[in-house]
Amino acid sequence: MTLSSIAAATSATATKSRVRISMLLLILFLSTVAYADRSILSIAGSTIQKEFGLSAVQLGYILSAFSWAYVIGQIPGGLILDRFGTKAVYGTTLVLWSVATLLMGFVGELSAGVTGTVVAFFALRCLLGLIEAPSFPANARVAVMWFPKSERGRATSLFASSQYFAVGIFSPLAGWLVQEFGWPWPFFVLGVIGILAAVVWFSYMQEPRQHPGVSSAELDHIVSGGGLVDIDSSSERTCRTRLTREVVLSLLTSRMLWCAYLGQYCAIAISYFFITWFPIYLIQARGMNIMQAGFATIAPSLFGFLGGISGGIISDWLIKQGWSVSWARKTPYIIGMLAASGLVLAAVAESNFAVIALMSLAFYGKGVAAGAGTWAVVSDTAPKAAVGLAGSVFNCVGNIAGIVTPIVFGYIVQATGGYSAGLYFVGAHCLFAAFLFMFAMGRIERIGERAA
């Protein structure tokens, strides 16, 4: 065998390494568990409301509780990620938030009266949110670590779409568990799944240079494409915790980043309508039972997931076709959010089929927007010295919508006696976000560098 044939065979073998794909599937799995933990309350919410005699406003506050602590925990969570690394922080918090999910199934035994129930649910949901705070910034770190820029849109779109994956899978399961065994059982089941997921994470997660399955060709592909493969190494973490005043100010004063932050706020407003009030809307306004509502979420979930994947693929394809990063990220976002605004038509739809069809189209559009223009923008623009912190600021501002949307929606329902005005409230976020990205954001580039 000649030297050239040996080299060709070695190269062919090396190119077979696709460990980054398995890492992506792993964070998709963990993100799905995370979103399921925060969304199952909406499936059990109608039953809980009846059993404990809660008002729409009280339920709205309980549904928002996760985000109060999730927002507060973002900045500390990002700093902890940058200091201790993705593997340790993500795995530890996964175990702890799964325990918090399990405890929610015992609220009936831990509380007395309406006030005690509200306080117990609110406190445990806050605990869940605080512990989960580093999870999505950790996903962004994995994407930056394992993927070149030309593939990062698809990678971030996949874990950003996990919300739909989670609702599509776990809503029917949760509906069946509530109907057959009672409202606590979804919390028991997901708590156990989360603990098992932590075992998988600790067993498989490694840095690219340390992972035994990564070939030199795959490592070169990641590094040459802009992947920050050493971001989780101990020496790099030590360096990156020494943040300068200029880096922090750049995260807080950049017009480009603030448009991304507010765009994430608007996208999460739609998400939180979907994972909090949407199943309750189907039961109380559209006359479905809990099983029907659980299964009715499958189509919007599927379309939202497909939209998220489409957004990342389209965005990365546009970059490969020579589009600037700015317009490759912004164009799918703008079009997607304009399509998502169509959910307001559900307010005048007569049939349940039409409602599900409209919601499916809306969440497909929102998925496209999120897949192309939210976490991918942070991955493309965050200063190298503060990737975790940048993701946390982004997620902090965005998840304020998780506080505002469930509460405001609850007040709207109680004040109007219906859901139409609430749908208009959610739809307005879509138009505002599209306007921001189209007219206010400007050029997308990494802070401190020229755009690639």
Q: Phi, psi (5° rounding) for residue 59?
A: -65, -40
pLDDT average, residue stretch 418-439: 94
| CA atoms of 208 and 432, how far apart (whole Å) | 39
Whether pTM exceeds 0.75: no
pLDDT average, residue stretch 40-46: 80
Higher-scoring residue by pLDDT: 285, 207: 285
Report the share of the chain in percent with pLDDT over 90.
20
Q: What's the pLDDT tens digit per position in 329-361? A: 899 999 999 999 999 999 999 899 999 999 999
pLDDT of residue 11: 43
| CA atoms of 310 and 363, how far apart (whole Å) | 12
Q: How confident is the model at residue 14 (pLDDT cuts 50, 70, 90)?
A: very low
Q: What's the pLDDT tens digit per position in 169-199? A: 787 888 888 888 888 999 999 999 999 999 9
pLDDT of residue 196: 93
Q: What's the pLDDT tens digit per position in 118-169? A: 888 899 999 998 998 888 778 878 887 878 877 776 777 777 667 677 777 7
Domains belonging to the chain, first-starting first, are 19-221+241-440 (1.20.1250.20)
Contact residues for 200 (Cβ-Cβ < 8 A; gap 6+): 26, 29
